Amino acid sequence: MHKRIDPFEFLYYIGYFVKKSYLLHRQKRLPCKVISVGNITVGGTGKTPTTIALALEAKKKGLQPVILTRGYKGNAKEPILINFPLKQTIDKGSATEMSPATLGDEAFMMVEKLKDVPLVKFPDRYKGGTLAFDALKQYFHIHQIVFILDDGFQHWGLYRDIDIVLVDGINPFGNRKMLPFGVLRELPRELNRADIIVITKVKNEELFNRLRLIAPNASIFSSEYKINRIKNLTGSSISIEEINNKRLYAFCGIAQPESFKKIITSISEDFAYFNEFPDHYKYKEKDITNIKKKADKLKCDFIITTEKDMVKIKGFKSADNILYIDLEISIEQGFYEKVFSSKFSQSSPYKAPLRIKL
């Protein structure tokens, strides 16, 4: 029996195919290497921590990473350039514009964590990359600059040297339906375009074998989240032992709240309450005030959230004493060697890296 396709799902697929064909025939290429980090589903697969990890590794290897992001949910319409060496290339407005509302949650978090990595927020990543290259070319050799394309697997208008695709190890394809009736942006068979696939959150041997059939030419790696530090509003670290098995009130507004709940459970099994908000939720002061009141009634020792949520509430007076988890992604050995392979070898001389400040 053939699978019944919903008419709206079919319309989405037709629109997807037309857009893809149109952009591929007009694809543009930046003068430097481009690494794309993406997925085939909506929701959290770990693109932001992977992008951060790649940028840090690129710095270690003497490269100058530049992050190109559309800044999902960020309301700025003009290109915003951050952490560039020339003052006139830094954003189109003032420093007060540097907020989750302007940049988007994930872009703002990357700026907070990567103080010396240039970032361009603009939906047209080719134009954004061109602006970045013009600002950096007098300071760095062309072979030293590497663009990291955040959420780029469906950004067909820009050529990529390497496509890294993340697949959720817990729930890889949802109900296997395309939008709007499922989580799929593309059919799983499109993973055969990937150069590298990373299974995130948990090791999944069955999924590994399935992916090997779908994408026989891709290199496949496993990854997991690790708690780097637990911090308070001021950025001071708190040891895991301090909250181990203490009574916790946890809340988040992310695409996959269960993954955060699993991390919290690894610290303490004494959950008083787990409060789920919609993904990219815009908190109000009263939300945090109500959380603190409920936590007090439940006699909780700590209130804890994600770093993505903390960047949106850190300006609230009521946010004091709330903790957040600073996570990092740990990817199987050989991943970075594969990414930064001979494609990124440099035989030409280049200028010494410039110390970039805001």
HEC sequence for 6-25: CHHHHHHHHHHHHHHHHHHC
Tell me the mean pLDDT in the region 249-257. 92
Tell me the mean pLDDT in the region 4-19. 80
In this prediction, residue 346 carries a pLDDT of: 44
Which of these ranges, 120-129, 213-222, 342-351, has the smallest mean pLDDT? 342-351
pLDDT tens-digit series, residues 328-352: 899 999 999 999 985 554 433 333 3
Q: How far apart are CA 97 and CA 305, in angstroms?
A: 24
Is pLDDT at 90 greater than 50 in this prediction?
no
- Quick one: fold of 8-225+331-344? Rossmann fold (3.40.50)
In this prediction, residue 353 carries a pLDDT of: 35
Residue with tokens 């050995």: 333
Beta bridge partners of 219: 196
pLDDT tens-digit series, residues 23-76: 999 999 999 999 999 999 997 899 999 999 999 999 999 999 999 999 988 888
Is pLDDT at 161 greater than 50 in this prediction?
yes
Q: pTM score > 0.95 for this model?
A: no
Is pLDDT at 164 greater than 50 in this prediction?
yes
Is pLDDT at 265 greater than 90 in this prediction?
no
Residue 103 sits at the vertex; the CA angle it makes with 232 and 179, to the nearest 5 degrees, is 105
In this prediction, residue 92 carries a pLDDT of: 44
For the chain, state the CA radius of gyration: 21
31, two tokens: 């003068």
Nearest to 356 by CA among 172, 173, 132: 132
- For residue 126, what is the enclosing H or E element? helix 125-136
Q: How far apart are CA 67 and CA 118, in angstroms?
A: 6
The one-letter amino acid at 206: E
Total residues found in the chain within this entry: 358
Between the two ends of the chain, the Cα-to-Cα distance in Å is 60
Q: How far apart are CA 14 and CA 296, in angstroms?
A: 52
Contact 123, 152 (CB under 8 A): no
Is pLDDT at 96 greater than 50 in this prediction?
no
183, two tokens: 């989580």
Q: How far apart are CA 334 and CA 332, in angstroms?
A: 6
In this prediction, residue 44 carries a pLDDT of: 82
In this prediction, residue 110 carries a pLDDT of: 95
Q: What is the average pLDDT score of the chain?
A: 88
Which of these ranges, 84-93, 101-110, 237-246, has the smallest mean pLDDT? 84-93
Residue 268, by phi and psi: left (phi above 0), alpha (psi -120 to 50) or beta?
beta
Q: How far apart are CA 246 and CA 181, in angstroms?
A: 40
The one-letter amino acid at 181: F
Nearest to 187 by CA among 17, 8, 2: 17
pLDDT tens-digit series, residues 174-205: 888 888 888 999 999 999 999 999 999 989 99
- For residue 336, what is the enclosing H or E element? helix 335-339
pLDDT band at 3 (very low <50, low <70, confident <90, very high): low
Q: Where is pLDDT greater, at 4 or 52?
A: 52
Q: Could you give the count of Cα atoms lying within 13 Å of 12 in the half-sphere of its Cβ?
A: 16
Q: Where is pLDDT greater, at 96 or 227?
A: 227
Is pLDDT at 279 greater than 80 in this prediction?
yes
In this prediction, residue 86 carries a pLDDT of: 62
Nearest to 148 by CA among 340, 278, 353: 340
Q: Where is pLDDT greater, at 13 or 206?
A: 206
Beta strands in 70-176 (DSSP E): 80-82, 119-121, 145-150, 162-168
Contact 313, 103 (CB under 8 A): no
